[in-house]
Amino acid sequence: MSPIHPLGAEQLSRRSDPTRLRFETTAELEPLDRAIGQDRALEALQFGVSMRAHDFHIFAFGAAGVGKREAVRSILVSRAKREPTPPDWCYVHNFASPQRPRCLSLPAGRGRRFRDDMRQLVEELIAAIPAALETEEFRTRKDTIESEAKRPHEDALQKLAKDAGERQLALIRTPVGIALAPVKDGEVVSPDDFEKLPEDDKKRLAEAMKELEKVLESIIRRIPEWEKERRSKVRALVREVTTFAVGHLIGDVRARFADLPAVVAHLEEAERDIVENAAELIGGAAGGPEEPGFAGRYRVNLLVDHAGTEGAPVIYEDHPTHRNLIGRVEHHSVQGALLTHFGLLRAGALHRASGGYLILDAVRVLSQPFAYDALKRALRAREVRIESLGDSLGLVSTQSLEPESIPLSVKVVLIGDRMVYYLLSALDPDFGDLFKVGADFGEDLEWTDASAELYARLVATLVRQHELLPLERDAVARVIEHAARRAEHSSKLSVDLRDLTDLLREADHFAKETGKGRVDRSSVDRALEARIRRRDRIRERAYELIQRGTVLIDTTGAKVGQINALSVIDVGGFAFGRPSRITARTRLGKGQVLDIEREVELGGPIHSKGLLILQSFLSTRYAADQPLSLSASVVFEQSYSGVEGDSASSAELYALLSSLAEVPLGQSIAVTGSVSQMGQVQAIGGVNEKIEGFFDVCRLAGLTGQQGVLIPRANVQNLMLRPDVVAAVKEERFRIYAVTTVDEGIEVLTGLPAGERDAEGRFPEGSVNHRVERKLLHFAEQTRRFAQDAREGRSP
Amino acid sequence: MNSTQPEARRPRVSAAWGVGGATLSAVEAAAEIAARLGGDLEARLIEDANLIRLALLPIGRQLASHTGRVEPLEPLRLEAELRTSADRARQILARTAAGRQLHWTFTVVRGSIERELGAAAGVADLLIIGRHPPLITLAQIETLGCSVLWLSEGLSARAPVALVVEAGDRGVDFARQTARAISRGVVREISAARGIAAALGEAAGGVLVLSANSRLLSGEEARQALSRGSASILVCRPPTAPFPEKSRPK
């Protein structure tokens, strides 16, 4: 096996060459009109918005900060401008069924006119109807009706009075009615005189009274009938006069909306209702929006007003609650009771977006009770029905409404991260039926000269958007290098716009603080350093513990069964690498590698999987034809929290091999990488942070020139290391080895050959593999001996 | 002040009504008109002596309007109902007068209606009598010595006032003055020559003002027509002293 050489400094980080950027400052660059590196997502979005089918809604997903919302909005706004403006929607009183307000659709902008016309109409009616009912002509006719209505009653009473008079009786008014009384000389007979009357006369008077009382009774009984007739005639008169008075007022409004049959039909119903209820209309105040009075029933609740909308609407609902999505029924309190009417219906985002586009944050929709269900129901039914959540759940029993639903034609774009998209796809059967278009936003793009130019234009665009100082070419180059570091790849650039924007704003701040008119490279560097400085207290504390010897990490010397592994700690968005000591102990046993982390439930499943893989590697490489008579234990020393991931599995294997071979491992080399059953070292994440973490610990202890990190070769492409690390490598004060196999790694760590099997299948004497195999054979032999002794009854 | 002219004084307005029917609305309207005239109101509720006597008879019965049934007319119950009517009338009067700064008195009298009306007319410049139920006929009104407003139900504040004018009628000036005083709107003057029907038409729902000397009051036929109409009838008779200008409504 050829010796493994450390990587050259040029392999550790890709620099952006400012001379390849063809501008002096970003002020010279044209802004971008579309998101870069998102061609797939943009194509999906374009497809989704152009598909007019009702169930081709869109889910735009990707990591936070990659510009999903801006890209979606940009595409939608651009397309919406070319599309027709949808109609206005109004709710009006339903004269046939007041609990079910009717909805009316009017061309965009005419809803407002309709509302204003009806408001004015009501005001005019309240003045015009009383005026019509106070004309002398009306009163003359009404009085004629009144007096004619009284005539039968009065005539009947007059005739009765006459008949009574002829029989010595008179009609007398009592507090509650009418009485018949015997009279003599115009006065009622006194009790004494009555007593003196002959019995025949008394009997005659009593019979006459009884007879006339029957007539009187029939007259009085007919009074309600005459009253009814009178009321009916007066009502008919009022109706006739009101019809005349309101006819031309409503006619004016009707003429303005003659092209809208539904509006005309409503006006005709309103006219009939006004005529029927003129007394209530003029008796009740016009009222306000909360308490509209009787006149409020003729008003118009303009639910969706597109008077100021150009093209189709693009609505972003920031707080997608159930009520904010599908609208709500408000109530007002009247003497403790909650009342409502159609004027208190309020539009939701779906109403406002109908005929256009609605952008929603998926997590926010999902986290609001019943909002997602309501959204799906509306999209499936293609209509929005305003429904109070309390009512639909039967939680409240206040007066409520069942407004007519409004047809819905909308393209919904949900925005969220990948996990949400995949979970919804997997768990919600409706999701796939409605959100058929997934727009997958990537996190990075290939770093080429062309993409670097585009990236520079992206920087220029953001600088303009946020009114920042222009960046010099050098500064842009530094920003590009940072983007590659964010992408964790030397040939990719991160498109995390949130991070990029923040960096530009921070660099602008530092440039302005030092009185510069442009952002130079040093301002970007300072912004990056300050950002780390603000967040690295935990890292500093972790390194201090190592430096003080509280956490035991050797960076020099060599130890059997002990190695430095590397892990990444991510705290509040700041990630840093930290070395951890792994130790392995081996002895005769039953073929088990004990994962102590797992035993105490500190090891995650992936970590445990790594241990099982290396157990398999050991048994197949060294004990393929005999029992693996090994008992080994592996532990992360001084680890008091969970361990997850398999990036330490190669380190664990090296520690085991060292223990078995009884060969010391160099403590100046930290290791990262996962391992396969075949002994291949595989790529891991966070390679830059891990290397830098060990570098920082070594620097604090003193760089010896022997220290370094062993990484999987597959991770070389991910290297975008800090300039100080690159400089140390260049000056041979630090080393980075990239390996493909465990054998390569063990050679770096032990300085001994790993050893390859010869034609007879034997490892070379003295090689690490030979020592391991010899130890395992020894364990197997011991096991056999113990087993034989046991069978023959001998004590071991 | 011209010493030949009688001294101006506040008009004396009396209002009289019996029990039952639409008397309470008449009380309210009387108070309103008295206030418009700037006069003092003497209101009297006349309890018909005949009614009291009937209640004492063994055959005394009444037909209740609200049930349409015949029931005994019991003296104690009648007294209670009369007291209730009086209390209610007093309350309405007090409420109406309070808002109009009207000086008023209220009396309940028991006796003959004709006699009590005559007594009220004797001390009043204007006597207001409710038409429903009728206490008196138009012919009887002409015999009273003061102006009489025969008040219909439902006289509104904005009711029209029509004044019948005829040549040579010496009372027309006073009738005009009174018509203006009780009217808040325009007083429409119409010639007596147009006849009774035209006059009633102009005053429909409001007040028809006639001088006591008007020929429209002469003859049974004219009286019948006026009695059948719905307008209130004001029969004007000049008082011994004119009403002061300041007493007119503003």
Share of chain A above pLDDT 90, in %: 64
Collapsed DSSP state (helix, strand, coil) of residue A595: strand
Convert the pLDDT of each residue in A470-510 to its tens digit. 999 999 999 999 999 999 999 999 999 999 999 999 999 99
Binary contact (B51, A179; C-beta < 8 A) = yes
Would you state the pLDDT for residue B246?
A: 41
Low-confidence winner among A208-212, A428-432, B180-184, B193-197 (lowest mean pLDDT): B180-184
Contact (Cβ atoms closer than 8 angstroms) between residue A484 and residue A444: no
Specify the pTM. Answer: 0.71
What is the 3-state secondary structure of A420-488?
Answer: HHHHHHHHCHHHHHHECEEEECCCEEECCHHHHHHHHHHHHHHHHHCCCCCEEHHHHHHHHHHHHHHHC
Name the residue with higher pLDDT: A66 or A91: A91
| Alpha-helical regions (H) of A185-316 | 191-196, 199-256, 261-276, 278-283
Task: Tell me the nearest-neighbour CA distance from B172 into chain A, angstroms.
Answer: 24
CA nearest to A206 within chain B: B59
For B92-136, what is each residue's pLDDT tens digit?
A: 889 888 888 889 999 999 998 888 888 888 888 889 888 766 777
pLDDT band at B21; cut points 50, 70, 90: low
| Predicted confidence (pLDDT) at residue A757 exceeds the cutoff of 50 | yes
Rounded (10°) angle between helices A742-750 and A768-792: 100
Distances (CA, A) of A673 to A635, A651, A680: 17, 7, 10
Whether the pLDDT of residue A285 is over 70: the answer is no
How much of chain B, in percent, has pLDDT values that exceed 90? Answer: 14
- Selecting from A172, A181, A217 the residue whose C-beta is nearest the C-beta of B68 gives A217
Q: How high is the pLDDT of residue A131?
A: 86
Segment (H or E) for B224: helix B220-228
Collapsed DSSP state (helix, strand, coil) of residue A717: helix
B54·A179 Cβ contact <8 A:
yes
Query: Is the CB of residue B14 less than 8 Å from the CB of residue B126?
Result: yes
Q: What is the pLDDT of residue A396?
A: 67
H/E stretch holding A592 reads: strand A592-595
pLDDT in tens, A613-644: 888 888 888 877 888 888 888 888 887 777 77
Whether the CB of A206 is below 8 Å from some CB of chain B: the reply is: yes
User: Cβ distance B210 to B172 under 8 Å?
Assistant: no
CA distance A190 to chain B (A): 6
B156 touches chain A (CB under 8 A): no
- A182 contacts on B by Cβ (under 8 Å): 57, 59
Task: Determine contact: A187 vs chain B, CB below 8 A.
Answer: yes
Q: Provide the pLDDT for residue A286.
A: 46
* pLDDT tens digits, A293-308: 788 899 999 999 999 9
Residues in chain A within 8 Å Cβ distance of B73? 174, 179
A238 versus A727: which is more confidently predicted? A727
Q: How far apart are the CA of B242 and the nearest CA of chain A, in angstroms?
A: 32
* CA A90 to each of CA A109, A115, A125, A754: distance values in angstroms, whole numbers, following the listed order: 11, 8, 21, 83
Residue B80 contacts A, CB cutoff 8 Å: no
* Cβ atoms of B48 and B18 closer than 8 Å: yes
What value does the mean pLDDT of chain A take? 90
Helix (H, G, I), strand (E, B) or coil at A173: strand
pLDDT at A796: 56
The residues, ordered by sequence, that sit 6+ positions from A158 with a Cβ below 8 Å of its Cβ are none
Spatial distance between the Cα atoms of A493 and A498, rounded to a whole number of angstroms:
14
Model pLDDT, residue B249:
37
List, by residue number, the catalytic residues of A: 647, 690
Q: Does pLDDT of B78 surpass 80? A: yes
